[in-house]
Amino acid sequence: MNNEQGPVAVITGAASGIGRGLAEQAAQQGMRLVLADVDAQGLQALCAQLQGQGAAVVACVTDVADASQVERLRDVALARFGGVDLLFNNAGVMQTGYSWEITGRQWQRMLDINLLGVINGVRIFVPLLLEQGRPGHVINTASLAGFLSSPLMAPYNVTKQAVVALSETLHYELAMLGAPIGVSLICPGPVASEIMASNQAGDEAGQSFGALLDSSIRQGMTPQALAREVFAAIAEKRFWVLPHKDFKPALEQRVRSILDETNPQFQMFDLPGDAHAAR
């Protein structure tokens, strides 16, 4: 690969929301893009837009829960651009409802996409980044739900907290090796997106909460504003990407509860759009 042509960024969940914002920002920075999503139509529309702006882009319809499809994504990046410099494990879906009312199939879907999708990205791309022997970066999308649990969001809470743990572990492991590969973890509050379209709420509480959450998310930070913060963190080799700061008192209360061994108490906290613990 010729680095003078710009670094190569692989972005999952790129067709909309946070992923689209990341793709647009990467294109503005002259990067070459390998964009993945299960939404073939949305993916092709984004690629056409970015190509019209002069970006080098290739689309690869990918279900991140399927390791063989993530391997194909890696192979597409190698065949088209000869390497990978940045990996954005961003694809994600939502599920609301009482934890005991959510079906086994719905739980598995959340685990497969939100967690296994990130695991597949790490397993399949990190060996390539290490083999290349040059600076690289892995960026995983979690959420404030990675720190603070909310009622009626159990699968989302579980998967995003696992992504936080995986990302920290990866950061430590790469540092142990002295590898020139950085890790960043995106933990936003509400970011305007269509993520609630993926919600499969069945019980009344899940449906009501999902509608409220959808309204709040749509009023959240723009994906473009978040993307600018993400790329600033990458340039600074910074792990934590926390664009919403107003959650900190709630996090401090949770830490005090753990240290004092007191029962946890759910605490709403104010964010733009009155949403909490959701990306």
Q: How far is it, in rounded angstroms, from Cα 165 to Cα 111?
A: 14
Closest by CA position to 139, among listed 47, 224, 231, 46: 231
Phi, psi at 9, each rounded to 5°:
-115, 130
The active-site residue, picked from 81, 147, 156, 269, is 156
For residue 221, give the DSSP letter.
Answer: B
**What is the rounded distance in angstroms from the CA atom of residue 221 to the CA atom of residue 210?**
18
How far, in Å, CA of 256 to CA of 10, rounded? 39
Place of tokens 């079906």: 103
Q: What SS3 state is found at 233?
A: helix
Distance CA 99, CA 79 (A): 43
The 3-state DSSP class for residue 158 equals: helix
Which tokens in the block code for residue 37? 């999503």
Is 172 one of the annotated active-site residues of the chain?
no
Catalytic residues: 156
